[in-house]
């Protein structure tokens, strides 16, 4: 994904969050979950982004993204999933430490 596309997606995400501050919406976990919301924002960048049943079930987004080529295929899906696991890095972070940097340090 290009820097411009990443920026557009981030701005879409923040615009949605800001809108929800003033106009809360019902959160239906089947049709509006962490996966379907990201899909809807990404679809603003690529209207041809295909629908897939995995979008309804939290936890299947990485496989979907890998299948459509949105994740770099130089790594396997298992390697992407391994890199995404931050629990141990999060638990090892220290008070006052830059949490965001701490959980991403091994990925640099």
pLDDT tens-place values along the chain, 108 residues long: 678 887 888 888 899 889 989 998 887 777 777 788 778 877 877 888 888 888 877 788 888 889 888 888 999 999 999 888 889 999 999 998 899 888 888 776
Q: Residue 70 has which token pair?
A: 């949105």
Q: H/E element holding 39?
A: helix 34-45
One domain, residues 64 and 86: no
Q: Are residues 64 and 19 in the same domain?
A: yes
Which pair of tokens denotes residue 71? 């994740």
Pair 100, 85 in one domain? yes
Domain count, the chain: 2
pLDDT value, residue 79: 93
- Full-model pTM: 0.59
95 and 108 inside one domain: yes
Half-sphere exposure of 5 (CA within 13 A, CB side): 8
R_g of the chain, CA atoms, integer Å: 16
* CA distance readout (Å), 13 to 30, 42, 55, 71: 19, 10, 18, 19
> Within this chain, do residues 38 and 86 fall inside the same structural domain, yes or no?
no
Q: Which domain holds residue 4?
A: 1-71
Residues 15 and 61 occupy one common structural domain: yes
Residues 47 and 6 in one domain: yes
Residues 32 and 10 occupy one common structural domain: yes
């Amino acid at each position: 994904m290009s820097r411009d596309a990443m920026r557009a997606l981030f701005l879409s995400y923040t615009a949605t969050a800001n809108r929800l501050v003033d106009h809360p919406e019902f959160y239906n976990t089947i049709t509006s979950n962490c996966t379907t919301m990201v899909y809807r924002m990404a679809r603003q960048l690529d209207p041809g982004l295909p629908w897939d049943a995995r979008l309804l079930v939290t936890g299947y987004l990485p496989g979907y993204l890998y299948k459509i080529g949105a994740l770099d295929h130089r790594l396997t899906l298992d390697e992407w999933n391994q890199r995404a696991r931050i629990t141990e890095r999060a638990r090892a972070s220290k008070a006052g430490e830059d949490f965001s940097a701490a959980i991403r340090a091994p990925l640099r």
